[in-house]
Amino acid sequence: MRTIRPASDLLWECWQNGRRLASIPEDIRPSTREEGYAIQATLEGRSASPLFGWKIAATSAAGQAHINVTGPLAGRLLHERAIDLSRRSGDAAKAELPFGVNHMRVAEAEFAFRMGVDLPPRPQPYSVDEVLAAVATLHPAIEVPDSRFDDFTIVGAPQLIADNACAHLFVLGPAAKTDWRALDLVEHRAIGTVGPPFTGGLQTGLTREGKGANVLGDPRVALAWLVNELSLLGITVKAGEVVTTGTCLVPLPIQAGVDVSMDFGALGRITARIV
């Protein structure tokens, strides 16, 4: 705790004030993934509410290469940083997100799963089928990540994990109305668009397309990875928590004043205005 708390305090202060640092000072810097997770875990005590859920960073080969890590990273979604549109529909399923002093300046389209039952830690890994059996609903989602480091591509996995795997803002869309379990999520496509405020049904701006295969080969596999990663750390994935599985398309650049739309076809559409 002599090193965990000071590192956590430093990262939290940077997050709250939009400040960045080159790296965590060497005398309190995590050197392993486990030490990074121990620093990250202190975030829960800073929130007035139970966890909203979990995120996964670096679920694509390109993403891992970009930040120089060899595998995915888990992070926490705090209630204060999440907007839940899951009970809204149509035009009501739109969020307003403060741009603030965001340094990464991107928005990501993600498959998010809300859990229906607890998955406690256990010695043997959970299979994908076991994890899917514990899921209640599937949702389209938008993540707006950020980092507390000047250059997050060079600090390494332990520090990125300590920095909550670049978590920042998150929007959960309405639950899919279609039978998502019958769909091929590997090939399921998402279309992301960012541009001026969308009016009259006309959308103009930058558009990118992705699919589920870009998320560890399958967003369901990514979900199982998260459950097993937390199991190794002695953490239960709880009923009601949301797991967002990483971007399925190249992140879209954002700035204040634009609208972001993520269209998952049969799984639904979600829109956010950056204000």
pLDDT score of 90 more than 80: no
pLDDT of residue 87: 81
Of 273, 272, 32, 264, nearest to 138 by C-alpha is 264
Q: What is the CATH number of the domain that holds 107?
A: 3.90.850.10
pLDDT reported for residue 127: 98
Q: Which tens digits make up the pLDDT trace of 150-206?
A: 999 999 999 999 999 999 999 999 999 999 999 999 999 999 999 987 655 555 689
pLDDT of 204: 64
Sheet hosting strand 189-195, strand order edge to edge: 94-97, 269-274, 259-263, 189-195, 206-211
Rounded average pLDDT over 35-46? 96
Based on the number of CB atoms within 10 Å of its own CB, is 207 exposed (0-12), middle (13-18) or buried (19 or more)?
middle
Q: How far is residue 97's CA from residue 89's CA, in Å, rounded to a whole number?
A: 18
pLDDT above 70 covers what percent of the chain? 96
* pLDDT score of 92 more than 60: no
> Across residues 50-60, what is the average pLDDT?
95
Total number of domains constituting the chain: 1
Question: Three-state SS for 261?
Answer: strand
Do residues 142 and 12 touch, judged by C-beta distance below 8 A?
A: no
DSSP 272: E
The predicted-structure confidence for 244-272, as pLDDT tens digits, reads as follows 999 999 999 999 999 999 999 999 999 99
Note down the domain range covering 65. Answer: 4-274
CA distance 140 to 247: 11
89 pLDDT exceeds 90?
A: no
Q: What pLDDT is attached to residue 140?
A: 97
Reported as a single tens digit per residue, the pLDDT across 95-137 is 999 999 999 999 999 999 999 999 999 999 999 999 999 999 9
Amino acid code (one letter) for 57: A
Of the candidates 39, 35, 36, 30, which has an alpha carbon nearest to the alpha carbon of residue 8?
39
**Cα(104)–Cα(148) distance, integer angstroms:** 10
For residue 205, what pLDDT is reported?
85
pLDDT band at 88 (very low <50, low <70, confident <90, very high): confident
Q: What are the tokens at 137?
A: 């609903």
Give 148-156 contacts, CB < 8 A, sequence gap 24+: 148/11, 148/14, 148/15, 148/19, 148/20, 148/21, 149/20, 149/21, 149/22, 149/23, 150/20, 150/21, 150/22, 151/22, 152/67, 152/104, 153/66, 153/67, 153/68, 154/68, 155/23, 155/24, 156/68, 156/69
According to the model, what pLDDT value does residue 65 have?
A: 87
3-state secondary structure string across 218-234:
CHHHHHHHHHHHHHHCC
- Longest alpha-carbon distance in the chain: 57
Please tell me the predicted confidence (pLDDT) of residue 212: 98
pLDDT, averaged across the chain: 94
Q: Which of 194, 208, 190 has the alpha carbon at shortest distance from 144?
A: 194
